Each structure stands twice: as structure tokens, then as C-alpha cells.
Structure 1
Amino acid sequence: MVTYKVTVHTGTRALAGTTSYIYIQLRGTEAESEEKILDQAYFSLGFSEGSVRTFKVDCKASLGELIYVKLSSKPFMGLDNQWFCNKILVTTPEDDEILFPCYRWLGCEEDLVLRHAKASLVFQDTNPIAQRHRMRQLEDRQDAFRFVDSERRVNEQNYVQEHWDEDEFFGYQFLNGLCPMMIQRCSKLPENFPVTEEMVKDSLGRSSLEVEMKKGNIFLCDYKILDGLVGNEVHGRKQYLTAPLVLLYCDSNDMMMPIAIQLGQKAGNDNPIFLPTDSKTDWQLAKIYVRAAEFCVLGVDFHLLRTHLVAEVFTVATLRNLPSPHPLFKLLIHHTRYTLQINILARNRLISKDGGISKYSGIGGAALDEYLKRATAALTYSSLCLPDNISERGLEEVPHYYYRDDGMKLWNIVNKYVEGVLQHYYKSDDDVEKDTELQSWISEIFTNGFQGKESTGIPETFKRVKDLIKFVTMVIFTVTAQHAAVNNGQFEFGGWMPNLPTALRKQPPEHKGRTNEISILETLPDVGTTVNGMAVLELLSTKSSDQYPLGVVPEELYDEEVPCKLIEDFQKDLEKLSWNIEKRNKKLELPYTYLNPKNVDHSVAI
């Protein structure tokens, strides 16, 4: 007779405990134990919230190397209440302690099979029983999770209200606002944007446009993806969309200043180029149209598509192709938390026919569907990889670009962590190539998430460890840091409606000199649209009550020394970055806080 000691940890969250009967069975390479009820006394303690209880499981002989633990639950006196189990620790007769992570709910009349914490690749899990469990787990998940059509704050608010109409703040937002991924260095003007030296001479002082382009001080933000889209109808009134081009100049004071705005893509007499030297109201209205365009590209492309929907692709592929013992599953599963739930809510409450975006924004209705198609077609791997994206846009040296500065440091910290974990399990490129579960994972991402288009640059297979490391770094950065950058400040920047109008009621002016304060007010959204739009932005900017910042890993999924040490190092690196960002922000008039690791969620959860 041999005895296994089983220590059961119940979660601390609300209602985690249960009065149900909990059964356990141990399965090893040589045999399995009989199913044992863990608490059969009539007046038992049950499993209360936060409890840690230890039981003995007697077996006739050693079970061999433990493969899994099976839990099941039956109601007590007809009471059907769930149980949240954090983990099971099993001490073998040889005094080896083995961790079986759980961290999920167990319902009555439900079975739950837990694999031990040691990660393994598919070709390393050689025991037939273990192999069958991996396959069954993926079959169940693939049946449960299916891909869907991907087409379908007070101080900061006061600052925005006070400075929204200033050119300095207007230019600042292209670098550190809600959508800092569009601006790019301009070495040659687009043919459809005929800005002349005469137009910008007052903005450039003694220099010229040609000279400043050669110096690398001229920048462009082009909203051509909105061209031709028909605005939504809000409260029975047609709204208007524009596709502006904005020319900016990084001046001698290192300020990013707008120097020319054209509100349509086709140059012509009825599409004037607005300048800072125009009347105050002409220039003000031109900037308002740009900010309305910013709302469109932010909400649909950079927020919805490039974080939420892309994160959903990664989540579903992970659940369908990586069993719980897989090291990549352990690395990514925390970063999928609530992603499917929040996306279901977004589909139902924001982009559905009766959703907030569809009803109260200019980009709703048919425009939303068309824009999603365009944005999906334009999505590339390099645009999701921050170092590549910064380089492609020529923004390596732009001053006061805090999104880039903090983002690159976060990217490198995540990359260091991912590299350590994956190199621990993948000892060679050959290990990557022969990992069939990994190859299925990336194949589904390529096929279902990026429509099987080689032009996106997304890999269809992995052949080298370093390619896998870069891709996984991108995945984690996208669902954590990138989401935080475009999501967290929405109410701070958009709570003052003229800075981020959700819709505009009048066509853009075809001539200069005809705008006044009354026509600006007639262009801005009405009160009902404004209130509903602000409510959406406030909801999206609100932290969840059980937020997990990046680096906080509440579940023990590893029991090996190397990955546990890498997690500790990861947390220390994030703490150091957080300290440095807070030190810098004390010197800034408007602190950039969105990529402080303390403010970065562990997943797309809001």
C-alpha cells in the first residue's frame, strides 16, 4: 500500500467555495487510483473560499510517473453550486511534489482533467495516455471555439479642454494621442496634395519646404483609407466623413506643428488647402474634420481590428491548437483572459445594428462594413511589430515621441522574456519544425486571421526559433501594450467632444472665408450624439474591477525553475520601466501614462 498526499487550494474570488462533493482520481504511467471522494463527512467543512485542505489517496502500488489528475463534482442535497479550484499539489510516496494548475470553475456533474505543470512539446509527451489526452483536449476545444468573420480621468480631460484648439496640442496628438501609428516622415509630397512654398513660408520661417524635407523635419498623416465612404445617418440626419491629408513640421523647438490641411483626397478649387494663416474659424474647422477622421480610424482600425479582432484570432488559435502542457499555451493563456467575452459584448453593443458605434457615429452603417474590409486588406505583419513599424514610418529620431520610447522598451522587455522561455523549450530550429501543434497554431492564424494572404507577411509556418520568438513577442505586445496605447485614453482625449467628434453634421467647406462660430456649432454633433458617444468612450476607458496589469501572473502554471525565474526577471524589468516612466512624467506638462506597465492590462479585457 502506498499513499499520495493531495493538497487542494480553493480560489479566493467571490463564491469560489462549494458544498458539492468533490472526487479525485490520479492517473500515472503504470496505473490509476480509484476515484476518491475528498470529503464525505455529512457535516464537513466543504471547500470554502481561500481554503487549503489536504487529503490522502491510498493505492495498492505506485502509479508510476503521474500524468494527470481528474476532478469531478456531484451536488450535495440537490444544491448545484460551482467550485473554483486554483491548484492541486500532489506529494508522491517518494516525497516529490507535483503541481497541477487549475484556475477554473468546476460545475456539478462535470469532469475536469488537469495536466502537471511541467511544459512539454508534442513530440516530448511520449506516453500514449498523455498523447491521447492532448488530442482529446484539442478536439474538445476545436469543437467549442470556432473562427468567425473578422470583418464583422479629470486632470487630463481639463488639459484637453483647455488646449484642444492649440496647434501644439493638435500636433502632439499625432505622436502621443490615441492613434500614434499613422504619422510618417515625408520626403516627397503626394501628387494630390499640392502644397506650395508660398503657402507654408510663414510656418517655416527662413527655411523652405524642400530644405526641411531633406532634413527630415516634414511629416504627413494621410487618411486616404476613408476616401469615398458615405457617412452614417444619426437621429435621422446624414453625417459626413472626410479623408484629410495633414502636413506637419517638427520645428526648431522640437514641436510637431500642423502647417497645411486638405480635407479631401482630390485636389481642386472646391477642396482648398487650409493653413494656420487662414481665419481662426477656417483653420479651427479644418482641424475638427481631421479629429473626426481620427475617431474613425482609431475606433475601427487601430482599436477594433488591430487589437480586439487580432487578439481574438490569437486566442481562438491558441485554444484550438495548443493543449495545456504546451509551453506556448502556458506563455499565452494569461494574455487571452476575457478576450472572447469582451469581443462578444463589442459585437452586440457597439458594432451591431443597434450598437453605440453604429447608431451614434459617422462611421456606422455601411461605412463601417466597408472600412473594416479596407483595413483588413491593409493589415500587415510589419505594422504589428513596433520596431519594424517605427522604422517604416521613419520616426526613429523624432523628439518627444513617448509612445515610441515607452513602447520600444516594453517590446524589448517582452522579447527578452519570450526569448528566455521559448529557447528553454525549443533547443533547435528542428524542434520548431517538428512541433505539429505549433505549426497548426500558426497555420490557423495565417489562414483564418489573415485570409491566407502571403502579402500580409504573416508566416504560414515556422522554421526557426528566432522567427517564433519575434511572432510571439508581437502577439503579447499587441494584446497588452498596443491595446493600452489606443484604448486607455479614449475618454481623456474624447471626453471634450470637439477634440474627438464622433460624427459631423455638415459637409466640409468648399471655399475659405465662409466659416464662423455658428457654422462650426452646426457642424459638430448634436447633444444626444455627443452624450452617447462620450458614454461609449468612458466605458471603453474604464478599468475592470479585477484588472491584472502586465507581469502580474496570479496562476501558477509552471513548476520548473527556469520559467519561474524568467517570470521574476520579467516582473523586475517591468517595475524598473514603470519607475523610469513615472520619473520622466514628473517633468512633463502632460504626462504620457498609457504604456506604464502598471496601466497595461495583461490581455484585451476591456
Structure 2
Amino acid sequence: MGKIFSKNSPKVPEDATHIVTVKTGDCKGAGTDANVKIILINGEGKNSDEFDLDARWRDDFERGREDQFYVKCEENFGRVAKIEMWRDKKGILDNWYVDWVKVQHANADDHAFFPLNRWLAPYKRIRVKEFDSVLPQEDDDSERRKEELDEKRLKYTTKVKVAGLLPQIASLPDDEIFSHEYQSDLKKLKKQLFIRITVKNVTTGRWKQPEDILPVYNDVLTKPIGFSHWRNDFAFGRQRLVHCNPIWIRRCDEIPEKLAVTDEMIKPFMEGLSISEAIGSKRLFIIDYSFLKDLECTGGRIIPSPIALFFVTSSKALLPIAIQLFAEPSETNPVFLPNDHHVTWQLVKMWFNNADASVHQACTHLGFTHLVMEAIGVITHRSLSPSHPIFRLLAPHFLYLMAINSRALEVLVSEGGWVDTCMSIGRTGMFNILKRVLPNWRLDVQGTLPNDLKNRGVEDPEVLPNYHYRDDALLLYDVICKYATTVVKGTYDTPEKLANDYELQEWARCLSDSPEKDGAGLNGVPGNGKFSTVDELIGTVTPIIFLGSVGHAAANFSQYDDYGFPGNYPAIMFGDPPTDKSPRTEKDIIDTLATKKMSLDTLLITRLLSEKATNPLGDFEVQYQYDRVGTKAISELIKDLEKVGEIIDKRNEKRAYPYAYLHPNAIPNAISI
């Protein structure tokens, strides 16, 4: 049995040859009281003695902590290429999750890194190569690898929790629970917010005028952008491009039959152009929410199913020129215009935003990021070994995802939760929207930014100017694509490696297959269940990383600016939408607004959701890639993101309204809030 000494030991031997550093994970139950042993293996396959990793005067392997030890191998043992590690069952708390092990020669800077990122079962020896990034067909410990995947499939079981939607994790594994530090930060923020919102005389009843909410705002609950611009047509048009729901506007190539507009109606708002001329010059745009028609909502509430036209002026502003609140034209469903009575027009815009907010929360936010990413995350854990290079590429972008989704279902989307009480649609309407929209969502179209922009006809900055979401997101998409390409092509440098990677091909199958076949049920996965080329794989992992970082940031972090003032972006409205053009009064607007309690609940929730509680993109909380291909890709990613940040900073200096939501420093690696 070889001797081992803690670095802090009063008797560190002068002839120690190697330093072993062990990082215990920061997930629930990660720390251990068990006895831990290690064997070092050099490049020639020679084993060291067996070392007990133990310092009697200190409690080793506590959650989230690094422990360092000196060991003594025989002379000229050389560089370590593998380690073998195991534990017993000593102690009440013997479970152990290991992030990584680093072995450094005591007299040299060179070190070998072994990212385990897994639980160690008692008495089961695990032998890990340096970097632990190896394709399954090249792994000389394939049996251990298969056993690990079988165990993970028992932990990461799928369940369709809402009929008609994507599968989710059936029961949250301990691995996915928030870290102590993250939970502490969230608790502090919640406490701070709730303390700061204690304002006299504004917690019950209804608002007498929209501006009565002003006393609520302070240095923590700052005045949201929407407060100052909510009546403005320019701001209403800008919302479509740079706020929390920027993915629905599309170029109008023809007027749908269900929209009862005529040249006579809207020509005055198109600088004298006819409809055909505006379409021909690519200056007419549309948002069509007619799929909301007859939507069943919680409590029998009604939301519109509006269609709106927008026009790009010669001064490059996007302005609303027509809104029809329901899908079928009729005498009680007129087309509203900017020259209608100003309060009536304002009320119509608010009802449109009520529908927009419903689509935002159901689809853009929950469906297209949280739920899509959870389905992908569960399937990735079930299909790819922790040693797989593609697992290591994607793993940072699943951090806390399943935990936050589980929390959201319990708190926000539960019966009687925030969605039920503070949104017109409620959870019933939210799920019904998803059932109508998700079946038509495709990873290679809506999930792939360049294809999505082209599909909507909005890819050209000359056609649709000031679309800052598009312009900044494209920079980030290209950087992520370069990053993914470096890893994928560096891993699969021959066609045979891709074809023979049975774990990867199982992942491809499961992403595409239905939940009944243990799949995610995603449409539009490149290769349709089998990767034949590296381009298909790049075309899959790039949008996955993008959706889990940039896509969610765009949908999430402007929520407070949008929802924080109830008149700007109403999550809930009372009464019925206008059915004629008669003049309305300010009281009509007041009567539609959320109650004070609903408004404050919405303000708190969206303020909390708009917080960035984890590291920015590229600065991974847990690093999984230590191999040469992965470390090179990460290094380039960080440099490229810095350049993108500089470009966005310069753009924002020239923009009339800066767009900060997609600055790389503001984008987390994963959906963690």
C-alpha cells in the first residue's frame, strides 16, 4: 500500500512524486465519508501502488470542495495517463459525485486531467483515461461504459407529463438539483425583491389609473422600459423586433383571406403605396395569431386571435397599420386602424399584446426553449456516455435545466400558480397553445436561426431594418457554429468514426423517434434519425447550444421591461375585446388592467426571471472538455465571443435604442432561471 500525505500535512515527504487534486461535485448528496482509493497508471501501462486518499485531521470530499494530496510513486514513474479509482461504503453518507481529478508531477508544471463528472458506486472500480473523451468504439473499457449508460437510463426516465407535448424527466435525479450556492443566491434575490415591494396602499384592489403603479418602482425594482413608451406606435412596432417575442414577425407576401383589409383602408399609412406595391417593395410585414381561434383557457377566459400588419416607413421605422382582433372578419370584428379614436386604438394594441404575451410565454419561452431543451437533455443523458465527446460538448448547456423546469411546473404552471392566476390563458390555455404549435416546430427550421429568418422572409437588414435580435443573434449563431464545428470535425476526422459511433447513432434515433419509442419526438432533426455526415451532426448540436443559451436569453431577459408595467404588455386583461370602433375612454383601459396584486405578482416573477444567476456563455460553471480539441474550441469560443461583444457595444452606440439582451456577457450557458 503506497503512502499518501495531505498537502497541509505537517509531515509532507520531500520525495513525493505527484500531487493528486480531487474536486467533489456541488450537487445534492455529492460529498462522502467513504474511504477512497486511487491507482495511477503511466503511459506504458504500469500501475503505481494503491493509495488511500485520506487526511485524518480533516473531513475530506465535502460537497463542492477540492482536496489535495501528495503521493509517492517509484522513481521515474513518469506522466500519468490513466487513473483507477474506487470507494467503499463507510459512513452514513457514502455516496460520492466526482467532478474531476488532476494529477501533477511534483517537480513539473505538467499535469494530467481526468474529468469524471459522475457518481462512484461502492467497490466498483472506474478506470479513466486522461481527458475521458473517447468514442465508444475506441473505448477499451466498453463493458463499464455500457453499465454506466444502463444506470443512467434508470435515473433519466422520460414521461409525457402533459398529453400532446414533449417528454420530460419523470423524476428529478439528484445530479440535476441546484447547487447550494445557486439556491442561496436565488433566496437572497427573492428576499430582497419581496422586501423592496412592500409599498403602502398598492397591494389590494384595482388601479385608478395606469400610472398609479409608479410608487412601486425603486432602485431594485427599476422602472421598466415599457412604462415610458406603452402608448407609442413606434414602441409597439419595436416590440416585435427587440423585446421578448421577436420570432413571429414575417414578411407579408399576400394578404390572407381572413384579414379584411383593403387599399382604401391602409394606403394612407403606407406612404401612398397600394397593398400590392407595398408587398412588391417588401415593406409590408405580418403577425398572424389566428391559430389562437376558439382557444380554451382557464376559467373560460377569452383571448383574441389577432392578425396585425406592419409597414416599414422611409425613415426605417416599423409601424402598426392594421389590427384585426379575431381570425374571422365580421361586422363585430372590424379592422382597427391608427386613425381610429386614439383610446380605442390603444386598447386594441393592448389586446394584441395580450395575445402576443400568451404566445410568448407558451411557445417562445416555455415550449421552444425550456421544453425542447429538456427533451433533448434527457435523451442525451440516456444515449451518450459521460465519456462521449458530444456529451461533453453539450453538457454545460443543460445545467439546472431540469431543476428549473421542475420548479416552474410546481410554482408557475401549476393549478393556481402564476400562469393560472395572472395570465389570461392560464395553464389550460398555455398547454392548448403548445399542442397547436409544437407539432409544426422543426429543429432545422424554427430551431435553426438562419433558416428561421429565411423562412419568415426577414433575413435582409435592408428589407427589415432595426431588427437587432436578428443582427446580434446571427453573430452568436455563427460563433456557436464555429465552436461546434471545431469539436465535431476534430472528433470525427474520418467518415468511419461517425458511422461506427453506435452511441451517437442511438442519440440521433432517439431525438427523432416518438416518446412511445423512448424518443424526444422532435421534428426536423438533420439526418432523420441517422447521422451520415458531420454536417448533419453540426446542424444538430449548433441549434441545441443556441436554443439553450441565446434563444432563451432573447425570450427571457427582457421580460421585466415588457411585463413590468401592466399597460405595456398585459399578461391578463379583463372584459371583452372591442367589437366596434366607437370611442373609448381611459376608464375602459383601466377596467381591463390586472388587479394590483396580479400586477405586483407579475412584476416580481418577471423581475426574478430576468435575473442572470449563472456564468456568461463560454465561462462554463462545470468544464467538461479538457482534451486538446475541446480546449482549443473553448479558447476560440471565448475570443470570438469577446469580439462579438465589442461589435454589439459599437452597434449600441449608434442605435437609437440599445439592445443589450444578447450581449455575450448577458447570456447564460443554459436555461437556469
Normalised by the size of structure 1, how large is the TM-score? 0.89
2:283 pairs, out of 217, 221, 225, with 217
Aligned pairs (5 A) from 1:155-170: 157-170=223-236
Partner of 2:245: 179
Structure 1 runs not aligned, ≥5 long: none
Letter in 2 for 1:90: V
* Distance across 1 between alignment mates of 2:117 and 2:48: 23
Q: Deviations over 1:112-159 (max 9, x none)?
A: 84733142111111x2xx101110111111000012216469798443
Partner of 2:20: 7
Aligned length: 593
Secondary structure at the counterpart of residue 259 of structure 1: strand
Counterparts in 2 of 1:220 and 1:426: CA distance versus 1, 3 Å = same
* Distance across 2 between alignment mates of 1:486 and 1:131: 41
Partner of 2:448: 385
Q: Deviations over 1:195-225 (max 9, x none)?
A: 1111112212332222111000000001122
Partner of 1:411: 477
Secondary structure at the counterpart of residue 330 of structure 2: coil
* Distance across 2 between alignment mates of 1:511 and 1:100: 69
Partner of 1:506: 575
Counterparts in 2 of 1:218 and 1:34: CA distance versus 1, 3 Å = same
Cα shift at 1:58: 5.6
Residues 33 and 92, structure 2, Cα contact 8 Å, conserved in 1: yes
Higher mean C-alpha deviation, range 438-447 or range 179-188: 438-447
* Distance across 2 between alignment mates of 1:486 and 1:519: 30
Residues 168 and 256, structure 1, Cα contact 8 Å, conserved in 2: yes
Partner of 2:192: none
Equivalent pairs: percent with the same residue? Answer: 28
Letter in 1 for 2:134: S
Q: Does 1:90 align with 2:103?
A: yes
Q: Deviations over 1:288-347 (max 9, x none)?
A: 011101111010111101000111012111111111221101101111110110110011
Partner of 2:148: 137
Q: Does 1:493 align with 2:508?
A: no
Counterparts in 2 of 1:315 and 1:63: CA distance versus 1, 3 Å = farther
1:374 pairs, out of 417, 436, 452, with 436
Secondary structure at the counterpart of residue 572 of structure 2: coil
Partner of 2:195: none
* Distance across 2 between alignment mates of 1:531 and 1:559: 46
Counterparts in 2 of 1:317 and 1:26: CA distance versus 1, 3 Å = farther
Counterparts in 2 of 1:155 and 1:248: CA distance versus 1, 3 Å = farther
Q: Does 1:584 align with 2:651?
A: yes
Partner of 1:539: 608
1:340 pairs, out of 402, 418, 426, with 402
Counterparts in 2 of 1:264 and 1:340: CA distance versus 1, 3 Å = same
Residues 284 and 312, structure 2, Cα contact 8 Å, conserved in 1: yes
Note the aligned Cα RMSD (angstroms): 3.3
Q: Does 1:122 align with 2:136?
A: yes
Higher mean C-alpha deviation, range 177-186 or range 430-439: 430-439
Letter in 2 for 1:573: D
Q: Does 1:26 align with 2:93?
A: no
* Distance across 2 between alignment mates of 1:220 and 1:195: 12
Normalised by the size of structure 2, how large is the TM-score? 0.81
Structure 2 runs not aligned, ≥5 long: 3-15, 166-218
Q: Does 1:439 align with 2:505?
A: yes
Residues 526 and 536, structure 2, Cα contact 8 Å, conserved in 1: no
* Distance across 2 between alignment mates of 1:167 and 1:112: 66
Letter in 1 for 2:540: F
Partner of 2:550: 481
* Distance across 2 between alignment mates of 1:454 and 1:82: 39
Q: Does 1:557 align with 2:635?
A: no
Counterparts in 2 of 1:394 and 1:212: CA distance versus 1, 3 Å = same
2:537 pairs, out of 468, 482, 493, with 468
* Distance across 2 between alignment mates of 1:67 and 1:341: 33
Cα shift at 1:492: 1.2
Secondary structure at the counterpart of residue 100 of structure 1: strand
Secondary structure at the counterpart of residue 446 of structure 2: helix
Residues 412 and 418, structure 2, Cα contact 8 Å, conserved in 1: yes
Counterparts in 2 of 1:241 and 1:73: CA distance versus 1, 3 Å = farther
Partner of 2:664: 597
Partner of 1:573: 640
Letter in 2 for 1:464: T
Letter in 1 for 2:112: I
Cα shift at 1:535: 2.4
Letter in 2 for 1:70: M
Residues 17 and 84, structure 1, Cα contact 8 Å, conserved in 2: yes
Counterparts in 2 of 1:256 and 1:325: CA distance versus 1, 3 Å = same
Letter in 1 for 2:278: E
* Distance across 2 between alignment mates of 1:114 and 1:175: 52
